[in-house]
Chain A
Amino acid sequence: MLILGILAIPLATTLLAAGVSWRPWIGWATAVSSTAVLGLGIWLCVTTLSGSQWALNHSLRADSLSAFMVVVIATVSLLATLFTPRTMRQEMESGITTARYARHYVILMQVFITCMLLAVLTANLGVLWVSIEATTIATTFLVSHRRTDGAFEASWKYVILCSIGIALAFLGTVLIYYAELHATGSVHSSSLDWTSVMAVAHHLDPNVTRLAFALLVVGYGTKVGLVPMHSWLPDAHSQAPAPVSALMSGVLLTVAFYGLLRFRAVAVAALGPTFPRTLLVVVGIASLVLATVMLIAQRDLKRMLAYSSIEHMGLLALGAAAGTPLAIAAVLLHILGHGITKAVLFLSAGEIYYLEGTTEMAKFSGLLARRPALAGIFGFALVSLVAFPPFSLFVSELTMARAEVDAGLWWAVAISLVCLSVIFAALTRHGRQMLMGTASTTDAAPSTLAPSMAIPLVTALVACAALGVLSWPLQSLLAHAAQVVMP
C-alpha cells in the first residue's frame, strides 16, 4: 500500500501538470509531492526494518535498500522541485522558456522521478532495466530544455551513449535470466525477480554469470557514469537546467548504481568475490583517474561538477568492490551525502549561471565579495564535496577506505587517496579562482540571496553535516540495507 502510494503521488502530480497549463503553483505542488514521497519513504524505511514489503501481486517489492533509495530520491527531488518555480521564472524572464515548455518540463520532471522510484521499487530485475532506460527518455528533453545548440548536442549524445550502454546491460540481464532458467530448470511467473534470482544465485553458471556481470557493469556503468562510458555525463550535466542536473547527478547516477549493487550480490554468490571485485576496482580506479586528470585543467563550472560526479561514482565502485557490510553501508551513506551535496552545488551553480551569464570559471571571480551568501553556500558545498568533516561524505569515504583496506585493497585505497588529493587541489584552485579574488565588475553593494533559495540550501548542508556527525537516524537502516545485498 505504502509502495503504491509512493508511486502514485508523483504520477498524480504528472497528471495534474499535464492537465493544466503552467502556473507557478504547479511548481510548488511538485515540491509538496516530493515532500509527501519523502514522508512515505521514511515510513517505508521504518516498516522495512522488520521485513520486505510487497505490492501489486508481488510485482513491486521494497526492502531496506529500496526504502533507503526512495528516501535519497525524495530528498534530492525535494531540493530540485523547490527550485522549479524559481528556475522557470528566471528562464521565462530571459526568454529561454515559454509556458508551454515549462509545462513539458514539469511533466517530464515528474515522469523522471516516477521512473527512478519505480526502478528501486520493482521486484523484477528486467523492469529495473526498463525503468532505468525510461529515465533516459524522460531526461532527454529535460537536457535539451534550453533548446540551444549545446543543449541539443548534449541530449543527442546522451541518448545515443546511454541507449547503447543500457542495451549492453539488457544483454547482461538476459544472460542472468538464461543462467537462472538453467539453474531452476523451468520458467515461472516470478522469473527474473530479485528474490528468485537470489534463491538460485549460488547455482548460476559461472561462465555465463561472469560475462553477464561484465556486461552489466559496462551497461549500468554507463548510466552511473563509470569509465569507459562516462562521456555523456559532462555534456548532459552542463547543459541541463540546474534542478535537472541536480537530480541527474544527485540520484540518477546512484539509482543505476543501485542496480549494480543488486547484481553484484548475484555475481558474488555465483562467482565468489574475486571477479566482481577485480572488475569494480578496475572501473572504479579508471573513473577516479579520469576524473582527476580532467579536473586539473577544467574550465567550465558545471563540467567540473560533472567530473566530480564521475569521481564519486568511482569511489562508490571501489566501496562496492570491497563488498563487506560495512563497505556497503558506507556506500549507501555516500550515495545520500553525495546526492545532497551535488544537488546544492548544481542548484547554486545554476544561480551563478543566471547571475553571471556564464559557467566559464575564468570569466568571473570575487564571488565572495559580490554575492557573499551564494558564494558562501557554494563554498561550503565544495568543502563537503572534497569530503571534509563534519560533512557526511568524510565519514563515508573514510569508512569505505577502511573496508577496502580490510578487503586487501590497500593499494587501490592508496591510488584513490592520491587521486582525491589531486582533485582536492584542483577543486580548491578552481574554487579559489571563482570565489576569491578581486571582483571583476564593480558592483557597489554585495547582493543578498532570496530566503526561498538560501533556506533550502543551507538546510541541506546542515543536514549533510548532521549526517556526518550523528549516528542516530541512519545507523540501523544502513546496516539493514547493506545486509540486503550480501550474497
Chain B
Amino acid sequence: MNLFLAALGFCAVGAVCAATLTRRVRVPVSASLATIGCLLAVGVALQVLITGDSSTFHTAQLLPMTGLSLTLDPLGALFILASSFVGAAACVYCVGYARGAMASRTAMTMLMIFVLTLLAVPAASSVMSFMFCWELMALSSLLLILTDQSHSREARGAALWYGVLTQLGAASILIGLLLMTSTSSGQTFADLSAHSLSLSPSTRSFAFVLVLLGFASKAGAVPFHVWLPKAHPEAPSPASALMSSSMVAMGVYGIIRVGADLLHGGTVWWWVAVALLGVVSALYGALHATTSTDLKRLLAYSTIDILGLVLIGVGAAGALNDSGLPSVAHLAMMAALLLVVAHAAFKGALFLAAGAVERATGTRNLDELGGLIHTMPSTALVVAISAGSIMAVPTLSGFSSEWLLLQGLLHGFTDASTPALIVMLLGVIALALTGGLTAVAFVKLFGIGFLGQPRSVDAANAVEVPLSMRIAMAWLVIPSLVIGVVPGLFISLLNRAASTGMGATVVSPIDHGTGLVVSQLRGAIQPAALLVGLVGVLALVWLVNQRLAQRHARRVDAWGCGRDLQTPRMQYTATSFAEPLQRVFADVLRPQSDVEVTHVTESRYYEQSIMYENRVGDVLEARGYRPIITAAFRVGVFARRLQNGSIHRYLAFGFVALLVILVVVA
C-alpha cells in the first residue's frame, strides 16, 4: 500500500511541478515523475495480483466529512495494471510529443492528474472517494480535450458532449451508490458489500440499473456512446490513448465492482442486459469503424466494439453464475479481464501511433495519408502489430483473449439456463460478426494509411517521430506479444482478479502452462508452438524464395490500364475502400452522399468537374439525442417568459404562494 501511495504521490508531485515550473523544464520533469509513479504502480499491481493480498488505507485528513479510503485488491489491481502501463507510455510519449498547447501549464497538469485518477479510481473504496476520483478523472480528461485544439469547433463540441454525458452518467452512478448506502451504516465498499443483501430486491435492481447506465456510458456502450467517437479523436494523443484504453475500462470495472462484488450478482436479467449492451455496442462500433475515415475516430469506434465484447464477457459471466455454473462464469470473466488488459495495450499503442502520424503529417484523415511505411517504418511496425492484435491474428494478444471468451460462451451452451443461453448465442454471433468487420477496418487503416502512395504533400514529407515517442509505442507493443505468445503466464493473475470480481474463489478452469488449456472443454491453444510453426514456415519459404529465383527485384511502374501516368489520386481511398460495406449496411449507417456535377458550358454531355461527398454520421445521435437537445432548448427559450421584467408578475408569484400557504397550511 505504501508503494502505491508513493506512486500516487509521484503523480501528484508531477502535477504540482507541471503547474509551477517554467515552460522549458515542465514537460520532462513532470513526465518523468509521473512515469516513475506509473512504473511503481505497475509493480504494486503485479505484486497484488501475484500474492492475492488486499490492503486498505484510510485517512480522515483528506476529503472533508468522509475521509479517503483506498483498497488494493486483485480486481482493482488488474485495472491499475492496465492504466499504469499505458500511463507510463503516455508520459514518456509526452516528452517528445508535447509542443504548443499540449506543453501548456493546464494541459500538463491535467495530464498528470488524469494519470493519477486512473490509478486511484480502481483503488477507491468508499462511495465518496470513488466519486471524487471519478469526477476528477472526468474533469481532467475534459480539460485535456479542450487544451490541444481549443479553437477548433469539433473539439469544443466534443468536449460538451463528453462533459454532459459523463455528468449524467456520474449522476446516475451516484444515485445508484447512494441507494445502496442508505441502509448501511457506512459508505465504504466493505459496508456496502456487507449490507447489500439486506436491501429489498427491487432496490438492488434499481440501484444496479442506475449504476449500469452510468458505467455503460463511460464504457462507451451503445446507445450511450455518442461522446466517445467525438471526444477520443479530439484529445491530444497521450490523453486519447489513456481515455480509450484505461478510462473506458473503468466503466467495465464499475460494472464488475458494483454488480458482482458489492451487490453479489443479483438476478439473471441484469447480466442479460449487460451482455445485450455489449452485443449492440460490438456490432455498432465495428460497423462504424469500418466506414470511418478519420484515423482516431476509427480507433474510437473500435474501442466501442472491443468494450462491447468485454461487456459480453462480463454479462455472460454474471448470467452463467446465476445458472449455477461458477467455473464457466469464471472463465468468461477471465476472458473479459484479459481482453481489457490486451485492449489497453494495443489501443494505447494505436492511439499513440495515430498521434505520431498526426504529428508527422498534420492530418488524421486517412484519405490524405498513404505510403507512411516508407517514411515512418517504426510507427508502421507498431501499427501493424497492434492492428494484428486487434484483428485477433493468432499469437497476438487479441486472439488469446477472444479465444478465451469463445471458450466461456461455448462452455455455457452445455447446460446454461435459457436467458444465459440467449446471451451466449448472441455473444457468439457478435464475436463472429465483429471479427470480420474489425479486419476490414484495420486492413483499411494500415493499407490506406501506410501503404500505397502518399495522397497529400504532407503525407509525402512525413518524417519519423522522436525517439521518446517511439519508445513509448514500443513499450505498449510488448503486452500484445507477450499475452499473445504466452497467455498462460497470466492465468493465475487473472484468476485472482476474476475471483474478486465474482465474489468467490473458484479453482481456475484453465490449466497452467504457457498456453491456454481448458480441459473440461478439451479446448487448448499453444500460441508459442503456433508461433514457432509460423515463423519456421515463413523462414523456410523465404529461404526457398531466395534460392529459387533471382535475389533482387527490379522496380517497375505499376500497371495503369495502358496509361503511363499513375497519380496518387487514382488509388482507392478509405472512403472507397469501405464503400461496398457501407452500401451493404446502409440501413443502419444511413450514409449521406452528395454528387455535384459541373457541366462544361458548351455541352451538357461533358463534365468539367464532379464533386462527391460522403458522410456517415451517427444515427443514434441524430435520431436519439438531437430531438432531446432541441426540446430542452425550446423549454429554455419558453421559460424566458417567466422573467419578462414585469414587477406585477414577480409580485403575483409571491401573492399566489402566500394564498396557497394560507389555504393549505392554515
Contacts and interface: CB of A to CB of B under 8 A. Distances in A.
Determine if chain A interacts with chain B: yes
A395 interface: yes
Contact of B653 (A210, A231, A408): A231
Interface residues of B, number: 58
B571 interface: no
B153 to A, nearest CB: 8
A471 B174 contact: no
A455 to B, nearest CB: 15
A398 B133 CA distance: 13
Given A296-B636, A418-B171, A161 B62 contact: no
B308 to A, nearest CB: 25
A378 interface: no
User: Which residue, of A210, A402, A467, A470, has the highest number of chain B Cβ atoms within 10 A?
Assistant: A402
A425 B164 contact: yes
A231 B60 CA distance: 42
Contacts of B182: 405-406, 408, 410
Contact of B642 (A161, A168, A232, A294): A294
Contacts of A168: 654, 658
Contact of B163 (A160, A297, A424): A424
B611 interface: no
A278 to B, nearest CB: 11
A211 interface: yes
Contacts of B643: 231, 234, 294
Nearest to A290: B642
Nearest to B133: A389
* Interface secondary structure of A, over-half rule: helix
A218 B656 CA distance: 11
A365 B321 CA distance: 55
B666 A207 contact: yes
Interface string B56-71: 0000111111110000
B654 A222 contact: yes
Interface string A352-388: 0000000000000010110000001000000100101
B393 to A, nearest CB: 42
A157 interface: yes
User: Which residue, of A229, A234, A326, has the highest number of chain B Cβ atoms within 10 A?
Assistant: A229
A114 interface: no
Given A218-B658, A467-B64, A402 B178 contact: yes
Given A211-B665, A293-B639, A402-B178, A470 B61 contact: yes
B245 interface: no
Given A231-B650, A432-B156, A470 B171 contact: no
Contacts of B421: none
Given A402-B178, A405-B178, A470-B61, A161 B647 contact: yes
Interface stretch (B39-47, B91-99, B124-132, B396-404): B124-132
Interface in B635-657: 635-637, 639-640, 642-643, 647, 649-651, 653-654, 656-657
B179 A410 contact: yes
B62 A469 contact: yes
Given A294-B643, A471-B60, A229 B653 contact: yes
B406 to A, nearest CB: 39
A228 B653 contact: yes
A218 B647 contact: no
A478 interface: yes
A20 B364 CA distance: 67
A417 interface: yes
A297 B636 contact: yes
Nearest to B132: A389
Contacts of B651: 160-161, 164
B633 A296 contact: yes
B460 to A, nearest CB: 30
Given A157-B647, A218-B658, A333-B65, A436 B160 contact: no
Nearest to B157: A432
B294 interface: no
Given A231-B643, A398-B128, A413-B175, A436 B657 contact: no
A399 B128 contact: yes
B616 interface: no
Contacts of A329: 65
Contacts of B160: 425, 428-429, 432
B167 A424 contact: yes
Interface in A380-431: 383, 386, 388-390, 392, 394-395, 398-399, 401-402, 405-406, 408, 410, 413-414, 417-418, 420-422, 424-426, 428-429
Nearest to B67: A471
B168 interface: yes
B139 interface: yes
B29 interface: no
Contacts of B665: 210-211, 214
A330 interface: yes
B64 A471 contact: yes
Contacts of B637: 296-297
A437 B156 contact: yes
Interface string B168-189: 1001101100110110000100
Nearest to B149: A436
Given A161-B650, A389-B135, 16 more contacts: A211-B665, A215-B661, A330-B65, A386-B167, A388-B138, A395-B64, A399-B66, A402-B178, A414-B175, A418-B171, A420-B167, A421-B167, A428-B159, A438-B151, A471-B60, A471-B63
3 closest pairs, A vs B, by CB? A296-B636, A297-B636, A231-B650
19 contacts: A211-B661, A211-B666, A215-B658, A294-B642, A390-B132, A392-B64, A394-B132, A398-B132, A401-B174, A406-B182, A414-B175, A417-B171, A421-B164, A421-B171, A424-B167, A428-B163, A438-B151, A468-B64, A469-B62
